[in-house]
Structures are given as C-alpha cells and as structure tokens.
Chain A
Amino acid sequence: MEGFSAKIAQIESTMSLYGREVVIAFAVIVFGLILIKWINQGLKRVFSKMPISAAKGATVRNVITVLMSAALITFVAIQLGLEPRPVVRFLAILTLAAIGILMVFRPLVPTLPFKVGNTVKAGDLLGKVEATTVLNTRLKTFDGKTVFIPNRKILNDDIINYHFTPTRRFALKVNIKFDQDLMKAKQIIESIMVEDPRVNKTPRPVVYLMSLEKGFMELQGRGWTDNVKAFVVTRELLEKTKLRFDQEGFALAVPQLQVHYSIENTEHPFKEI
C-alpha cells in the first residue's frame, strides 16, 4: 500500500513539474494530426482536378504526409523540452533505417500486379482499380459496381492488366452455309474491318476459314483495336457484317447436327405393329 502511495506521489510531482508541457504536447499532436488529414484531403481534391495519374497523386500526398508528420513529431518533442538536434538525428536515423529495410526486403514482398487507375480483369470481374490497401483491392466495374477483392485471392488468381497492352485483337465470328460464296464472304468481312476508323492499320485485318467440320463454313475476321474500344467495335462490326450479308443475299448458318438413320436391313425400333 505504501508503494502504491509512493507511486501516486511520484506521478503527482512529475505532473506538477511537466504536466503543462505534456497537455500542450498532446493537444498539439491531436490538432496536428487533424490538420495533416485536412491537408491530405485538400490535396486529393486538387490533384483530382490536375492532369496527373491517381497513382502519382497518391505518392506525392504520402510523401507530404510523412514530412508533415515528422515535422509535427519534432515540434512536439521540442515542446516537451528535448534538444532539437538529437530529435532530428533520431528521426533521420529512423528514416534511413526504414528506407534500408524497404530496399532490402521489397523484392521479397509479394506485390499486386497493378496500380491504382489500371483496368484489370480479376477472375470474372472487369473494372478499374480505385484503391489498394494491405488487405483488399477496390475495383469499380464498368456496370457501376464497387467490388472489394481480398488481395490474397488476387495473388492466387490469373490477372489481366490492360494497362500494359493498349491494343487488343478482336474476332468477328460468322458462320455461312457450304453453298455460299466463300471468297465474297471473306472480302465483305475484311472490307468492313479495313474501313472502320477504330481498327488499326497494322497488323492488317485478316479473315480465316476456321473449320468445315461443324456442318457449315466457320469464318473469323481478326483485327486489332484499342482496349477501351474493343467491346463496342466488335459488336458494331458484327452488326454491319450481318446487315451486309443480308444485302448480298448470304445465308448465315447456325450450329446444327444431322443424323442419318438407315432402316434397311435393321430392326426399326419405332415400326408399326
């Protein structure tokens, strides 16, 4: 009991000596952190209006936040009566140690195969990466949904990052009957692809006869276009192809199965009794 009273007396004497400084330092830290948060949010709004990528903006904001936090810690330490020089020295050593650790261990740390702002396909989800945290990734799909995907799932799954491949090959799949003019059909599909402004000049669009074994001639026109236009381009070229084939009198084929059954010399299962 005496020991406890002694400790209370010690705290009382310490608080009477340094209490004012401790309270001021605590208030400065709280106020400073709120101010840093406000500045961070303000910078976010400013950067969103400037022509810089979201990833670069986030990096600049993080650097500014770290510098302001360091300045706040230094200021508070000085307020508490510490010498400025050792405090700055300590912070410098801490920063250098952090950089060193990062440089050594960074190659060993699994990193996400995309950055904020990239368009990616993760599993069945296609969308733009809005934010990444230690635990999950926030993806905005093109139909307006915001999806939070756990990073461990992303690291174990196949990811397509469209940022690295600005163009994509599209395929126009058209099936025509065997009695149709193959060369004319190929010419129509190729000309539709060539004349479209969104289809790249190189590699040049080509049309292949893919197979004959399905009961029709399976044609496929292939061309290259920008990633962001690929969906619309493919659908519109398909629409134009269908209408042009109609105008030219082509008969499109649908998948079918012909069954030949001979009843000669066999016991017919459905014969009339």
Chain B
Amino acid sequence: MKSVEAYKIIDEGWTKKRTGFRVRFQKQVGSEIITDYFPDMDEGPWLSEIAIWRMAWKLAESRKSDIPDINAGDLVNVYVVDHEDNPVKYYATGKFEVFNQINIEG
C-alpha cells in the first residue's frame, strides 16, 4: 500500500476533517415550524467550532420559549451541525447538546 492510500483510509476512517459549521434551529412562522440555519446556506459556514457554539448559545438565550409553548420568534432546538448536516458534539461537554430543546412532534 502506498502512503497516499494509507492516509486516505485514515482520513476517511479516523477523525474526519470538517469544512465548516452552522447553527441549526427551528422557529415558528405562522402556524408552521420551519428549520433554518445560521449562517444562511448561501453564505459560507463558520470555521470556528468554538465561535459557532457560542453563537448557538446566544441565539437560544436571546429567543427562549416558555416550554412547552413556542411563541412567534422563538428559536428552539438549537444546535451545531457540520458541513454534512451531522450534529456536532458540544466541545465543552463531549456530548450532543441541544439548546432550548422542545419536542415539537409530541
């Protein structure tokens, strides 16, 4: 096996390099709950995991809902996703974290 192949296996199988992060959240628009992202999909993602988690926390804190109700403008189920829309573990706890979590389906 050539070193290029070996490194390719490692890159795909071990720790993956992420290319950016976004905040994924839900909000009520009219009678519907829609999913949105920060930054918008037409903008580039943020490269700093720490900065994007800080942004997620601030967004959630700024638009907190009175559980179990969601008011217009509330941002619920706020968490960070990577470039493939996979949830990212909160680096501070090492666990999947969702700010202002509300079970919408229930």
Interface residues, chain A, with chain B CB atoms under 8 Å away: 190-191, 194-199, 201, 204, 229, 232, 236, 239-240, 243-244, 247
Contacts of B91 in A (CB 8 A): 240, 243-244
**Does B47 lie within 8 Å of A198, measured CB to CB?**
yes
**Does A247 lie within 8 Å of B49, measured CB to CB?**
no
Interface CB pairs A-B, < 8 A, 5: A194-B14, A195-B18, A197-B17, A197-B47, A199-B17
Q: Say if the beta carbon of B48 comes within 8 Å of chain A.
A: yes
| Chain B nearest CB, measured from A207 CB (Å) | 13
Contacts of B16 in A (CB 8 A): 195
**Does B18 lie within 8 Å of A197, measured CB to CB?**
yes
| Chain A nearest CB, measured from B31 CB (Å) | 38
**Does A247 lie within 8 Å of B19, measured CB to CB?**
no
Interface residues, chain B, with chain A CB atoms under 8 Å away: 7, 11, 14-20, 47-51, 91-94
Known: A236-B49, A243-B91, A243-B92. A197 touches B15 (CB 8 A): no
Cα(A239)–Cα(B51), bound, Å: 12
Contact of A197 (CB < 8 Å), options: B11, B14, B20, B93: B20
Contacts of B49 in A (CB 8 A): 196, 236, 240
Closest B residue to A202 by beta carbon equals B7
**Does A201 lie within 8 Å of B94, measured CB to CB?**
no
Contacts of B50 in A (CB 8 A): 236, 239-240
Contacts of A199 in B (CB 8 A): 17
Contacts of A201 in B (CB 8 A): 11, 17
Contacts of A196 in B (CB 8 A): 17-18, 49
Cα(A240)–Cα(B52), bound, Å: 13
Cα(A91)–Cα(B64), bound, Å: 75
**Does A236 lie within 8 Å of B48, measured CB to CB?**
yes
Give the interface centre of B18, B19, B91 by most chain A CB atoms within 10 Å.
Answer: B91
**Does B94 lie within 8 Å of A194, measured CB to CB?**
no
**Does B15 lie within 8 Å of A191, measured CB to CB?**
yes
Known: A243-B91, A244-B91, A247-B93. A195 touches B15 (CB 8 A): yes
| Chain B nearest CB, measured from A7 CB (Å) | 77
